[in-house]
Amino acid sequence: MAGTDRQRPLITGGPAVILVEPQLGENIGMVARAMANFGLSELRLVQPRDGWPNPKARAAASKADHVIDGTAVFDTLEAAIADLNFVFATTARARDGFKPVRGPQSAAQSLRARMESGQQCGVLFGRERWGLSNEEISLADEIVTYPVNPAFASLNIAQAVLLMSYEWMQSGLAPSSETPFSGPRVQPATKSDLQGFSDQLEEALQARGYFRPPAKKPKMVDGLRAVLSRPGFSKTEIQLLRGVIRSLDRFSRKSPRGSGPPDPVEDDEQSAPVAGGSEP
Amino acid sequence: MAGTDRQRPLITGGPAVILVEPQLGENIGMVARAMANFGLSELRLVQPRDGWPNPKARAAASKADHVIDGTAVFDTLEAAIADLNFVFATTARARDGFKPVRGPQSAAQSLRARMESGQQCGVLFGRERWGLSNEEISLADEIVTYPVNPAFASLNIAQAVLLMSYEWMQSGLAPSSETPFSGPRVQPATKSDLQGFSDQLEEALQARGYFRPPAKKPKMVDGLRAVLSRPGFSKTEIQLLRGVIRSLDRFSRKSPRGSGPPDPVEDDEQSAPVAGGSEP
């Protein structure tokens, strides 16, 4: 998906992402890209198999150069987290133990609150094949696990980082913007706009004998109005629809349809249809 | 991350994921894997560049064979969504227009509520390079956009699908009381019902020279479709509206209006209008 705007300020900061013994440069690059997508920028590597810097990582990062350039490499996990106040370990399954387990959303909210209070935080991600060892997990404060399909639980490392990064970004959005937005931002037309449209349509239908039998007309009109009023059409939409009805009502087909019942009348010059949306 | 347990039941179902003109088989496979991770299983492809089946897709799916095996291929987007009641389009940025815009979390909650009420739903994802066209977006009911870093907004297609799939899974975990749903009380028509109505109206307008100048027609058609798709008309409502348009299209006024431009044609017996709502 495109849409990057290089004029906008780059969002950086957030918790450190710590990859323990990552193997493929491509994965490291995709992790950097996922972090950049959601405003994280601090990447730390513990003993990357293929060394560092790694051209494959840069290529896969799709221009998340600020993350790649700032990546720090450590010999041990202990060293990589030495300056941090709080660390999450990510695991595929909750393990036995005394550590609290959270989902990514709750974990991100916790990280946000901690960092706002001045703590330095990080999130550990394990090797591609088998994740983190129990000893590594024991160095963390709490565990993050993902609500995956138990029968198909294998997330790759870039996806696991993507989800945490996404929840980090979400956690910083104002509550109002998290509120589900139900309904269009369009300003509904006034009732008189709507009534004018409804009157126009009813008159055009009445002139064609649409309301039959006549005794049923009131009920049919009610039904039509209910359909037209439910959507909360905007003034612009009403204008467009009035133009449509006007064209159908005033002008005939320019050439006969194969199966059309009445012969259409050829329009003459002065009755040329008005282009759509021209109804005042 | 490991942790898959093949003894656990596989979670399937959820909204259909529809990829429009995907190019790389690897991406299709990674989409299938991301879906399987979070319990989605119905994948639809519109004109995949390299055909289908695609061995690269299966390899990249990392054993999400149930998704790959069930993948359906369509010639047009219209056909791919014909049986659906509600469709989201994913875009990198909110676009101008009448359609409501949601984040993935709110969108997933909305999808969950709709599917629980019996609606068939889907989510559209665009091409790797440039996403969805405006015309394709016009076929959707609402838009999903991601809370990305504006200066680094480029999500790849598998990541975009992963985030929606993750939020789909999350939406099923959240306490129902936390899930505000202000959805429509009526069951929306299927896209093919709506497309039929839209086609009927466009044809009737085309026959009258409504789309002027011709170069503007595609934009005018998009606008018309946007207005018609926004309300989430029900099947019954669409039937009523088709009856209305049919009456306006096929039959002329029975008596001249004071100011009407073209002379109306008197209907003869066999062309008597059909009462409202009779369109099959």
pLDDT by residue (tens digit) across B76-127? 999 999 999 999 999 876 665 668 899 999 999 999 999 999 899 999 999 9
What's the confidence (pLDDT) of residue A182? 37
Confirm or reject contact between A152 and chain B (CB < 8 A): yes
Give the model's confidence band at B41: pLDDT under 50 very low, under 70 low, under 90 confident, else very high. Answer: very high
Distance CA B161, CA B149 (A): 18
Confirm or reject contact between B174 and chain A (CB < 8 A): no
Q: What is the DSSP letter of B202?
A: H
- Dihedral angle sign, alpha carbons of residues A189, A191, A194, A196: negative
Residue B238 · residue B85 · CB < 8 Å: no
Q: Residue B271: closest CA among chain A residues belongs to which residue?
A: A261
Share of chain B above pLDDT 90, in %: 48
pLDDT by residue (tens digit) across A159-196? 999 999 999 999 988 553 433 333 334 566 776 787 88
Distance CA A218, CA A237 (A): 26
What's the confidence (pLDDT) of residue A270? 35
What's the confidence (pLDDT) of residue A174? 56
What's the confidence (pLDDT) of residue A267? 37
Count of positions (residues) in chain B: 280
**Which of B183, B262, B271 is opposite residue A261, by nearest beta carbon?**
B271
- Listed by start position, the domains of chain B span 16-178, 191-254+265-271
Q: Mark out the alpha helices in A10-53 (DSSP H runs).
A: 25-37
Burial A188-203 (b: 16+ CB within 10 A, else e): bbeeebbebbbebbbe
pLDDT by residue (tens digit) across B136-152? 998 899 999 999 988 88
CATH tag for B16-178 (out of 3.40.50.2300, 3.30.2020.30, 3.30.300.30, 3.40.1280.10): 3.40.1280.10
Count Cβ atoms below 10 Å from residue A111 Cβ, excluding itself. Answer: 23
pLDDT by residue (tens digit) across B239-268? 889 988 998 988 888 755 444 444 333 333
What's the confidence (pLDDT) of residue A70? 96
Higher pLDDT, B279 or B91: B91
CA distance A85 to chain B (A): 25
Higher pLDDT, B280 or B8: B8
| Residue B206 reports pLDDT greater than 70 | yes
Q: Mark out the alpha helices in chain B (DSSP H runs).
A: 25-37, 55-60, 65-69, 77-80, 104-116, 134-138, 157-173, 191-206, 217-229, 235-250
The distance of Cα A210 from the centroid of its chain, to the nearest Å, equals 45
Distance CA A241, CA A116 (A): 52
* CB-CB under 8 Å, B268 with A208: no
* CB-CB under 8 Å, B237 with A10: no
* Interface pTM, i.e. ipTM: 0.70
Please state the CATH superfamily assignment of the domain spanning residues A16-174 in this structure.
Answer: SPOUT methyltransferase, trefoil knot domain (3.40.1280.10)
Q: What is the DSSP letter of A131?
A: B
Where chain A has pLDDT below 50, the residues are 1-2, 176-185, 257-280
* CB-CB under 8 Å, A156 with B254: no
What's the confidence (pLDDT) of residue B273? 41
Q: What is the DSSP letter of B99?
A: S
| Residue B238 reports pLDDT greater than 80 | yes
Q: What is the DSSP string of A162-218?
A: HHHHHHHHHHTS-HHHHS---S-SSPBPPHHHHHHHHHHHHHHHHTTT-S-SGGGHH
pLDDT by residue (tens digit) across B143-183? 999 999 888 888 889 999 999 999 999 998 855 433 333 33
* Section B3-10 average pLDDT: 66
